[in-house]
Amino acid sequence: MQSSDQTIFALSSGRAPSAIAILRVSGPQARMAVERLCGKLPSPRFARFTTLRDLDGSAIDESVTLWFPGPHSATGEDVAEFHVHGGRAVIAAMFDALGAIDGLRPAEPGEFTRRAFENGKLDLTEAEGLDDLIHADTDRQRRQALRHLKGLLGAKAETWRQQIIEASALIEAGIDFSDEGDVSEELIAPALKKIAALKSEIEETLYLSAQSERLREGLTVAIAGPPNAGKSTLLNRLARREAAIVSPHAGTTRDVIEVHLDLDGYPVTVIDTAGVRETHDPVEQEGVRRARDRARTSDLVLWLVDASDRGATLPENEDDHAPVWIVRNKVDLAGDGNANAARAQFDISASRGDGVSELMAALVSYAQDYFGSGEMALVSRARHRTLLRETVEALDRAGRSADKGDELLAEELRIAIHSLGRLTGRVDVEDILDVIFREFCIGK
């Protein structure tokens, strides 16, 4: 990230062409940018309809312009927004006009949100929630991200942090008045009680949030099996579109094809893999290798077999794979079944749709168990979990070091306070800020 003393601008709406495009400017030169393009500064937080002109006085477009003087703005700086028509030529002309003003430069990914964070408009967990909200594909992901954007985890972490600070103050007072008889013990006892309660509360939060990180990433389901079992047909049926090429010729699917689905609000990625068989074709061999790798790393495998094929192969080394559901396909064409029928969990016809609704219902039920109560949990990232675990470990060590000296106890509490400070971005997080904010879209 470059210096926050500079003024940045970017397109903050969707890609062109669109009905309306919003260009945002933030920084000390935002006021000058508005005056240069509009001729007059609008009243704060009131929309003004005007014709925008470049530095040569040529008209660019008609605009609704908004002015938000800092610190009462999204970033805490002076902010301006230009709502113009969303044609590519209009946007390009706006970029040229803004770029020609001294002190203005295009924004980097996440720079608006980073400035909001640095100016105290939101903490780091809220910034991460905004990123999750931007990338949410399903309603359940949206609701979880919105909880973080509202600062629920950050507020909880700050409450814990303040309580540990209070306990630490009691310990420090005990150290300062250690020569006053039993004063030290009177102070340490309530501090240890508070530490034990906090440790239990944070541990419970971690336990309830054990599956919440999964909701961000989604569930991966691999459709695997021998060639011509109907894997691509099933993928198209689940996706409700022609996502994969369907052919009666074995080996049609050579690479992994992914389709992202919304199953009752749960994010699910369904993968169509190459038919697993022995082959001398080097391209198909690579496809089979990838198919086996993806099946091994998936969260669930639908092993598809032809219901009319009595010699249909079953997955090998099942202990090395994710849970495997045996699915007999083409039941509309099958006779009396096959030798593997006893192991089948689902009988379907991917081409006609027979039994597919039951398979979908089972996938939704599996997703519910897989994600658990993650939607309502506070913790959604590995970073959150790591820092809260560090806090719990420090509190645990603090409780066990009570008889080893107040100084050791106080030091463990300082470690716990520091870990919670890193969670919200209050202390020592410069090393992770670039990693977090570069994942944002430009203009956010």
**Which residues participate in the annotated binding site?**
24, 81, 121, 228-233, 247-253, 272-275, 444
Q: Which positions make up the binding site for (6S)-5-formyl-5,6,7,8-tetrahydrofolate? A: 24, 81, 121, 444
Residue 377, Cβ neighbours under 10 Å: how many?
23
Q: Which positions make up the binding site for Mg(2+)? A: 232, 253
Q: Which long-range contacts (CB under 8 A, 24 or more apart) does 156-159 make?
A: 156/205, 156/378, 157/125, 157/388, 157/420, 157/423, 157/424, 158/123, 158/420, 158/424
Structure tokens at 351: 């081409």
Cβ–Cβ under 8 Å, residues 355 and 331: yes
Cβ–Cβ under 8 Å, residues 98 and 104: yes
26 exposure class (CB count in 10 Å sphere: 0-12, 13-18, 19+): buried
CA dihedral 361, 366, 368, 369 (to 10 degrees): 150
Backbone angles phi, psi at 151, to 5 degrees: 85, 25
Q: What are 301's strand-pairing partners?
A: 222, 324
Q: Which positions make up the binding site for GTP? A: 228-233, 247-253, 272-275
Question: What does DSSP assign to residue 328?
Answer: E
What distance in Å separates the CA atoms of residue 441 and residue 134, rounded to the nearest whole number?
8
Cβ–Cβ under 8 Å, residues 96 and 113: no
**Helix, strand, coil in percent for the chain, rounding step 5:** 45, 20, 35
Between the alpha carbon of residue 312 and those of residues 219, 253, 286, 287, 385, the distances in Å are 27, 19, 22, 20, 44
Cβ–Cβ under 8 Å, residues 78 and 17: no
CA dihedral 64, 69, 71, 76 (to 10 degrees): 40
Please identify which residue in the block is written with the tokens 């006053």.
180
Residues 6+ apart with CB under 8 A from 196: 399
Residue 275, Cβ neighbours under 10 Å: how many?
23
What distance in Å separates the CA atoms of residue 208 and residue 218, rounded to the nearest whole number?
18
Pairing assessment for the beta strands 48-53 and 59-68 based on DSSP bridges: antiparallel
